[in-house]
Amino acid sequence: MHFVFINPNRALARSSIWSVVNSITPPIGLALLSALLERNGHRSRIIDAMALNLDVSGVLSAMDVRGDGVVGITATTPDMDMAVEIASAVRSRYPHLRILMGGVHPTIYHRELVESGVCDLVIRGEAEGAIVALANEEPLEGIANLTWRTANAEVVQNPQSNDFVDLNNLPMPNYAKLPMHKYHSALGSAKRVPSIGMITSRGCPGKCTFCFSSMFGSRVRVTSATGVFEHIIHLKNVYGIREISFYDDTFTANRKRVEQLCNMLISDNVNISWSCFARVDTVSPDLLKLMKAAGCHQIMYGFESTEDDVLRAINKKVTSDRYHNVIRWTRDAAIDIRGAFMLGIPGEGPGGMTKTIEFSKAIDIQFAIFNITTPFPGTDMFKWAMDNGYIKHTRWSHYDMAHAIMALPTVSAGEVEAAYKRAYREFYLRPRYVLNRLRSISTREEFLIHLRVLKGIVSMLIR
């Protein structure tokens, strides 16, 4: 059976920081499915409309489908409007093809999508087992995690599997199917090019109310240090990659694995630089120094807020007093910090947002990302906001962390969006910040990155 996988393009609002710093990351999930299908004797193509900047007509032109098959469309919430447009166009052009959807948003709205005819099937959660069963043309009623529509238009929701994929049994993602020259890390997170994003685990030890933590089960699963090392070497040797951005929810969740990987990179003298995401309760001074020795130059910490009652309300399970220790440890290890902050958290007023902005400036970090608190479907926060009538609308393309989605009793949407712009203006356009960044720059590449960040921030603020 032939599969065509589509990664939708995303229309980024020009008033969003992501229009400035956005990464173009390989759709690792689709590349894994493609590799699995190839291993089982099936053909597939991947159309990465995000990387190729294709609109719906561009996607249709790239498809060129002959014969029967399945079109699989992946989607997160901000991509969903575009995913539906693509599905509708595919249905019109190729009515004989079955349309399959997967990803976080379709997992939540699987029944509605199938019932409305947007697609014929949805794979909920992990897709590896179901995709091979579909390719082998096994009876639909026996495929776990599948929601589908019968010939009589009945929607069937098959049971969810209790078994999860062993990441160490998966093949290398099928990078040969992707436009590898188009990928790059988020602006400011890589100091060398070419760079690329990697995901080496599924799940997160945190259960914050703003994250959908059940997509991959409650347990964190990781690719072994050896597997990650081999993946890095493959990307370096085959595609000339010089920098890796680890986009795992919490790369440091398994300390032993990080230590093993760092020691491999050091002992083999692998000339690769890298960055990652971490929680402040998963690092220590010794680990940070080892990570630096292995090539880590930047860590993004999710600080979110400095008010402990707000952190408790979003189930962050950390207190702000740990922030200063971790900042000091990271600085002592000579690793740059990219801090992530949330504005307009439920229970937070205008004063709380001001405290967050002031804190970001006071701790003297290299980069800051301010996001408007967004209640994504499937999260505890979304349910809470819906139950209380705080959701303003469900125009999914606006769920981009740059638009105020909630009308909260403690702070207006207008105040949140004004604070969003104020945060970027006050953090990045401070003379002290600009001078300190210029003094710390040691290469032409770093200078050009910093210049692009500042130009992008100014451009975003005046739109």
47 contacts 63 by C-beta, under 8 angstroms = yes
Q: Nearest-CA neighbor of 222 among 246, 199, 247, 196?
A: 199
pLDDT of residue 21: 81
Q: Nearest-CA neighbor of 368 among 50, 2, 21, 12?
A: 21
* Average pLDDT for 383-405: 96
pLDDT of residue 445: 77
**149 and 190 share a domain?**
no
Assign 437 a pLDDT band (cuts: 50, 70, 90): confident
pLDDT of residue 1: 77
**67 and 199 share a domain?**
no
Whether pLDDT at 67 is above 80: no
**149 and 207 share a domain?**
no
Lowest mean pLDDT among 8-22, 50-64, 324-338, 389-403: 8-22
Say if 24 falls within a structural domain. Answer: yes
CA distance 222 to 199: 9
pLDDT of residue 451: 83
What 3-state DSSP class applies to 352?
Answer: helix
CA distance 238 to 242: 11
Q: Tell me which H or E stretch contains 298.
A: strand 296-304
Residue with tokens 């105020």: 404
Whether pLDDT at 423 is above 90: yes
**62 and 139 share a domain?**
yes
Q: Nearest-CA neighbor of 175 among 227, 130, 241?
A: 241
pLDDT of residue 458: 85
Say if 90 falls within a structural domain. Answer: yes
**341 and 215 share a domain?**
yes
Distance of CA 98 to the CA centre of its chain: 27
219 exposure class (CB count in 10 Å sphere: 0-12, 13-18, 19+): exposed
- Enter the pTM of the model: 0.94
Q: Where are the alpha helices (DSSP H) in 333-443?
A: 350-362, 380-387, 413-428, 431-440
What 3-state DSSP class applies to 373?
Answer: coil
Say if 170 falls within a structural domain. Answer: no
Whether pLDDT at 444 is above 90: no
174 contacts 229 by C-beta, under 8 angstroms = no
65 contacts 99 by C-beta, under 8 angstroms = no
**412 and 328 share a domain?**
yes
pLDDT of residue 392: 95
**149 and 189 share a domain?**
no
Q: Which tokens belong to 392?
A: 């303003």
Q: 315 in the Ramachandran plot: left (φ > 0), alpha (ψ -120 to 50) or beta?
A: left
pLDDT of residue 248: 95
Q: Comparing 2 with 303, which gets the higher pLDDT?
A: 303
Say if 175 falls within a structural domain. Answer: no
CA distance 33 to 102: 12
Here the CATH number for the domain that contains residue 90 is: 3.40.50.2300
pLDDT of residue 405: 97
Q: Domain range holding 323?
A: 184-461
pLDDT of residue 133: 97
End-to-end CA distance of the chain: 48
pLDDT of residue 11: 79
**202 and 148 share a domain?**
no
Q: Tell me which H or E stretch contains 70.
A: strand 70-74
pLDDT of residue 454: 83
pLDDT of residue 436: 85
The residue out of 140, 157, 174 marking a domain boundary is: 157
Q: Which tokens belong to 415?
A: 């105040």
Per-residue pLDDT tens digits for 98-130: 999 999 999 999 999 999 999 999 999 999 999
Say if 171 falls within a structural domain. Answer: no
**132 and 205 share a domain?**
no
Here the CATH number for the domain that contains residue 272 is: 3.80.30.20
Assign 275 a pLDDT band (cuts: 50, 70, 90): very high
Per-residue pLDDT tens digits for 172-184: 999 999 999 999 9
72 exposure class (CB count in 10 Å sphere: 0-12, 13-18, 19+): buried
Q: Where are the alpha helices (DSSP H) in 67-140?
A: 80-93, 104-108, 110-115, 128-135
Average pLDDT along the chain:
94
The residue out of 142, 157, 172 marking a domain boundary is: 157
DSSP string, 303-350: EE-S-HHHHHHTT----THHHHHHHHHHHHTT-EEEEEEEES-TT--H
Say if 365 falls within a structural domain. Answer: yes
Say if 95 falls within a structural domain. Answer: yes
CA distance 351 to 310: 12
Say if 162 falls within a structural domain. Answer: no
**135 and 234 share a domain?**
no
**69 and 21 share a domain?**
yes
The residue out of 157, 172, 192 marking a domain boundary is: 157
Per-residue pLDDT tens digits for 331-341: 999 999 999 99
The total number of structural domains in the chain stands at 2
Whether pLDDT at 218 is above 80: no
CA distance 1 to 3: 7
Q: Which tokens belong to 29?
A: 């999930």
Assign 12 a pLDDT band (cuts: 50, 70, 90): confident
Lowest mean pLDDT among 62-66, 189-193, 289-293, 367-371: 62-66
* Average pLDDT for 393-407: 95
Residues 6+ apart with CB under 8 A from 54: 9, 47, 62
pLDDT of residue 251: 97
Q: Nearest-CA neighbor of 404 among 335, 342, 452, 319?
A: 342
Lowest mean pLDDT among 16-25, 39-48, 69-78, 417-426: 16-25
**189 and 77 share a domain?**
no
pLDDT of residue 442: 76
